[in-house]
Chains A and B, each alone.
Chain A
Amino acid sequence: MNADQAASGETRIKGVAVSQGIAIGSAFVFGSSLQDVRPREIPETEIENEIVKLDDAIDKAKSELTQLGEQTQQMLGERSAEIFEVHRLMLDDPELIGECLRRIRAERLNADWIFLQVLEKYEQTFSQFHDEYMRARIADVQDVKRRVIRHLQGSAKAPGDGLPGPAVVFSADLMPSETIHLRRDYVLGFATELGSRTSHAAILARSLKVPSVVGLGPVCQKLTTGDPVILDGYSGELIIHPDPETREKYVKSHDLYQALAQKLVRSCRLPARTKDGKDIELAANIEFFEEVQPALEDGAMGVGLYRTEYLFMMRDELPGEEDQYAEYVRILDALHGQPIIFRTFDLGGDKAQKHFHVHQEANPFLGYRGVRLYSASEEVFRRQLRAILRASVRGKVRILIPMISCVSEIRYCRRVFDAVREELRAAGIPFDEEIPFGAMIEVPSAAISADLIARECDFLSIGTNDLVQYTLAVDRSNRYVDDMYRAFSPAVLRLIRETVRFGHEEGVWVGMCGEMASDPLATMALIGLGLDEFSVSPVSLLVVKEIIRRVHFDECENLAERMLSYGTADEVEQYLGSVYRRKFRDLIIADPNHAYARRGRS
């Protein structure tokens, strides 16, 4: 978020890289065009509707400003964040809002036009100030003006619509409902003011393989559609008006990357099999229908984690059985018989508050979330199971229950599952009788007792994101402790080893759907620990497949054993890094997590 205006004229802004790759092209600022604002007469019956539109746009702008403020405060401190508070106060200003409403009613003109007029009047006044510091407030008024107009126009279109041609798309933030409109062939890159690695926009950008940077701070106001930009999805840097030398440098590394990607794509149809013949099931994590096709193109053998929460967060009401059924059928058809693991809804904290009477919790991560919601809202759980079961005749379905921490939870879920199956049988509705039922292992208690849980189900899938945070007692969004969040901690590795061993002893297969499975640095180690299935973020498919195909199972076992002898995460990463550099030097540029650059260096 620090802008440097170099002497040359290019501007560099640093955000958070969330999807690898380099985008070179012109900017398209989503819904920011003030020239499009024209006066339009509004029929009397529509006036109140127009006012609601303005209220909505202002609310959206204010919530963005609150988030920008929080983000800035975390990164740069309180003083830097204060300007967003000022912008928010402008949108709370009783005089300003009052004038807009009065004028919309009196002049019967469209909200965006009136808002523009009112704000430009203030700009006019500020521009006549003698005090230079006071005059600078014009920039704030302009920022607020564009932010609200963007939302007023945004309600009518989605990003990606109206793209004149391939462009780097800029937006304040994207809701899942908006992101899915992005057209892969037109969006060269994708950048937002808000967001983090785990935000929807980030997840989607990664799966669509669009270079992407989020958390750039207030950038939409600095850009005009058509400005030449470079977006670096490795370093998180945005360069506006790049110098010719900068451009040339980027074109070169872009070409290098493309060449390697092309090389890897050639082997993506080949099986994920080690040199000595051990088959690994390599699948993709997805959340949206749109991600299925690109994942299959990169050689995924199905979906190892389908996150269904998105359906529950899209609208204000919970999805009905028919809505879910239709979506599941669409996804199963796109998979053409490849297997898919449905993870039943995994909501918690604020995501669950709306529907599940969740109260403010002191410790949401230790609270009411995942499977713990099901018994009190059994009808919602049943409805989802019915939809999945009915859709199951269209493909190869597996079901996975999130946040299992003890045996009684998985037993309860199985009872409900059996009851729903009985209902369907009684009603003569066909479904697949052989659906495997699995437990997600992401709580240490579940990992430690994975043998007991494995006896109750057909497979286990390790979710590393929560497992790491619960095992190490580290909230990775807390910047005071986030450096202690280490997937390669000996304690986490031992839990993974035990889970795999317990699962195998009980005769069930064990997969992993957490972020660690996508990390190329972990691939050999996880093969060596005996993992049967990897479900990875789609962008990692090619590189993980390539690694699997280049190694022997016994060398992975040796590596895993040696890895487990180290005392710290640093030592483990150093060791894995040294092996990685030796064996996979040519893959380093394709490494989505920059494991080589970031870690494992002595």
Chain B
Amino acid sequence: MTAAEKLECRECGAEYPLEALYVCERCFGPLEVAYRREPIADLAGLKRRIQGGPQNIWRYSDFLPLAGGPPGPSSRLASRSGLPAGCTPLIRADRLAQRLGLGEVWVKNDAANPTHSFKDRVVSVAAARARELGYEVIACASTGNLANSVAAHGAALGMDSYVFIPADLEEPKVLATGVYGTHLVAVRGTYDDVNRLCTQISAEREWAFVNVNLRPYYAEGSKTLAFEIAEQLGWETPDRCVVPVASGSLYTKIAKGFEEWLELGLVTGDLPTMNGAQAQGCSPVATAFAAGHDVCRPVRPDTIAKSLAIGNPADGPYALDLARRTGGAIDAVSDDEIRAGIALLAQTTGIFTETAGGVTTAVLAKLAERGDIDPGERVVLFVTGEGLKTLDAVRGTFTTYEIDPSVEAFAAAAADAVSA
């Protein structure tokens, strides 16, 4: 039906075998997994099979680049293998929609993954493929969420792991990585320095760097967000998605997921309008979008949204192209708007997001204010990580009343709170 067939250069179309390769030797372009597809006669049967699959991303294994199908003793038992990701809630957010004057808003809460970010999806696929290719060590360059995920997947799968992070990362992300017993390397430099270092190390060691030499497989994992949303909406695509942009991989692969299913006729609707969201302190893609450029000029990040602090985005050109061809945009918001976005989401939905979700919520608010969103649109807001990982962002944003344990003390504080 569908099966990963080869790697293909996105720039020049050169073909490569399904190995740990990520760069085209001919033109230096990025490699992407290409699938052999045959028309599906029994769409209803395929839908039933997906619905009857495991409650994790392996229900979509027909559309993922593993040679041996879903990992685990059998596909039925795949949910018991490794650290299963996905099948996270899609929540209708009427109070948020009302606050922003919008018709229909849904929140895809991908903080509800094993290590509390969407990275578990991509690492699941990359780690499974690494095993198929015979690797014993997984590794990554990370802004934090990926670090948590690679360390945890290494532990779950019994693989050794090496995690490289910028030395100034938020403490919760460092602690939530080290606990899994990984080799944690804090690099004095920006994420882009870490990424350069890992690109160099990956050439020297027989390791599966999930976002370097395994990146074509890793990136495919993000498609499962699109599959899940389409399934959760009753096999329909939403009208618009608001997605965080760091390297641009997640943003472009979500669209690829929708496109693959639209092409097969598995879902109804159109490719959604794709809105990308960046922090102003690291907005190379938003800047290029506004200027009409088709490549990004790298920047040095300075933002509280550290999980999006990639100054040199690998998929920048493709993100720009996607925004333009879907009638979307790439917008950037300030650190204060990000903090306000975190509070708005928390106070209207009960979902506490890390800074990246503050970025998407703030961009949604900006689009609403600008009048870009039609009241009839069904919008999906992407929350890709957990608020407990970036607690500094909300410190000092509310008042706590500390009182003695007496009714009088409480009454005084309550009166004070009312007058405040």
Is this pair of chains taken from one and the same complex?
A: no
Point out residues on A near B: beta carbons under 8 Å.
none
Point out residues on B near A: beta carbons under 8 Å.
none
